[in-house]
Amino acid sequence: MAIPPLFRWLVVLLVWSASALAADPGRIVLDLPPGPGNPRNSEGAFLDLSDGRILFVYSRFVGEAASDHAKARLAARTSRDGGETWSDDTIIATPGEDEAMNVMSVSLLPLRQGEIGMFYLLRRSWHELRMYLRRSGDDGRTWSEPVLCMPGAGYYVTNNDRIIRLASGRLVVPAALHKRRTDRNEAAALDWRGIALFFLSDDDGRTWRESAGYVTLPVVHTRAGLQEPGVVQLPDGRIWGWARTDLGRQYEFFSSDGGETWTEAAPSRFTSPNSPLSMKPVPGQPRLLAVWNPAPAYETRALKPPGGDRTPLVLATGTGPTTGWKAARIIDGLEDPTGGYCYTAIHFTKDAVLLAYCAGGAADKSRLAKLRIRKIPLAGL
């Protein structure tokens, strides 16, 4: 008698969760489900403001469509109590958003002279997707005109909460370039095999240039290449980069010259479907915090189980690319194994970590439709 696919997936999840260490998964402090005229609330980023509030900016979709190329606006909320409660939305008007297909994928970063920076992608067509930076000197009440971070025209994908500042002061934007196959303005005109490259600024984001080197996936049998790359600087000064693939693992690569050139991509320790990994240093500690989906796609399991392989969502801490990693711990996906949990923003407070991520379930039109913020005590890590 054949075992139904859903039952097989539940068994796999229960076995996996039984082997994971018990941990405090924290509490959900904000859920933003879709609604009429708002078909999707998607990935965002956090930042500490000068008055002690936390700023959170995310993509609020408008109209009826919820795809990545549908209309959206950047919405901001703030918290005065460390992420326990949140204000209502304030919409941030973005130059060019009405003419563009979409605006999304926000990163926030402290800049010099007391300013804050808001990075976002503006999708003008299937031939042009590029990142812009706007500055604010008054905690986000007003914003400057946008500066283009990607000088050459092309279709560049940069995830939310991805921009970093190196110890040298240089800003690094990781991106996946998707080359144009034809002149037709449609998704099929793009080569979805991503090439990882990097945009650098040495004057606090006022001017930008592309890195001298780039990274490709050194295999033939891939339809994804290197997609949605991320970066973190290690204590020894190297930059550790990674990207999602369709090969069952995140692939990693390193730079020893501030992001100019990179090593060849190789399999990392993180098993993963073709979904993103998020990682940041834990402040004041020699540890990194990683959040990802650990379930690989393999031949005896359906490639798209109910959660689309983006469940469960787990976290782990470690001290380097291969050292000091604790067993992964589930933080979402046990109650609804049909859900999808991904595109995580990470923000540390004095005694907790805030994780914001997409959390759609089977009842939603899309498993990227709902935005969730979870607060986990640092002691629970």
Q: What is the mean pLDDT of residues 110-139?
A: 97
Is the model more confident about 136 or about 304? Answer: 136
For residue 370, give the amino acid letter.
Answer: K
190 occurs within a structural domain: no
> Is a pLDDT exceeding 60 seen at residue 246?
yes
319 occurs within a structural domain: yes
Whole-number pLDDT of residue 16: 45
> Is a pLDDT exceeding 70 seen at residue 7?
no
Whole-number pLDDT of residue 297: 58
Whole-number pLDDT of residue 13: 45
Res. 25 pLDDT band, cuts 50 70 90: confident
Whole-number pLDDT of residue 336: 77
> Is a pLDDT exceeding 60 seen at residue 17?
no
89 occurs within a structural domain: no
11 occurs within a structural domain: yes
Q: What is the 3-state secondary structure (H, E, C) of the chain?
A: CCCCHHHHHHHHHHHHHHHCCCCCCCEEEEEECCECCECCEEEEEEEECCCCCEEEEEEEECCCCCCCCCCEEEEEEEECCCCCCCCCCEEECCCCCCCCCEEEEEEEEECCCCCEEEEEEEEEECCEEEEEEEEECCCCCCCCCCEECCCCCCEEECCCCCCEECCCCCEEEEEEECCECCCCCCHHHECCCEEEEEEEECCCCCCCEECCCCECCCCCCCCCECEEEEEEECCCCCEEEEEECCCCEEEEEEECCCCCCCCCCEEEEEECCCCCCEEEECCCCCCEEEEECCCCCCCCCCCCCCCCCCCCEEEEEECCCCCCCCCCEEEECCCCCCCEEEEEEEEECCCEEEEEEEEECCCCCCCCCCEEEEEEEHHHC
Lowest mean pLDDT among 186-190, 259-263, 334-338: 334-338
174 occurs within a structural domain: no
197 occurs within a structural domain: no
Provide the residue range defining the domain that includes 6. Answer: 1-32+280-360+371-381
> Is a pLDDT exceeding 90 seen at residue 361?
no
Whole-number pLDDT of residue 23: 59
300 occurs within a structural domain: yes
Cα–Cα distance for residue pair 314/319, rounded to 1 Å:
17
Residue bearing tokens 């609804």: 336
Instruction: Note the pLDDT tens digit of each residue in 298-355.
Output: 566 555 555 567 889 999 999 999 999 999 999 998 887 778 999 999 999 999 999 9
CA distances from 95 to 59, 79, 160, 180, 340 (A): 15, 26, 19, 26, 32
Is the model more confident about 293 or about 2? Answer: 293
pTM value is 0.92
Is the model more confident about 18 or about 33? Answer: 33
Res. 10 pLDDT band, cuts 50 70 90: very low
Whole-number pLDDT of residue 22: 47
Instruction: Note the pLDDT tens digit of each residue in 288-308.
Output: 999 999 976 556 655 555 556
Nearest to 117 by CA among 98, 100, 131, 103: 131
Task: Provide, rounded to the nearest whole percent, the portion of the chain with pLDDT above 90.
Answer: 82
Sort residue 80 into left (φ over 0), alpha (ψ -120 to 50) or beta.
alpha
**Residue 244's CB: how many other CB atoms inside 10 A?**
28
- Work out how many domains the chain is built from and give that number: 1
- How many residues can be counted in the chain? 381
Is the model more confident about 295 or about 209? Answer: 209
> Is a pLDDT exceeding 70 seen at residue 183?
yes
Measure CA 328 to chain center. 19
> Is a pLDDT exceeding 80 seen at residue 21?
no
343 occurs within a structural domain: yes
Instruction: Note the pLDDT tens digit of each residue in 39-66.
Output: 999 999 999 999 999 999 999 999 999 9
Res. 14 pLDDT band, cuts 50 70 90: very low
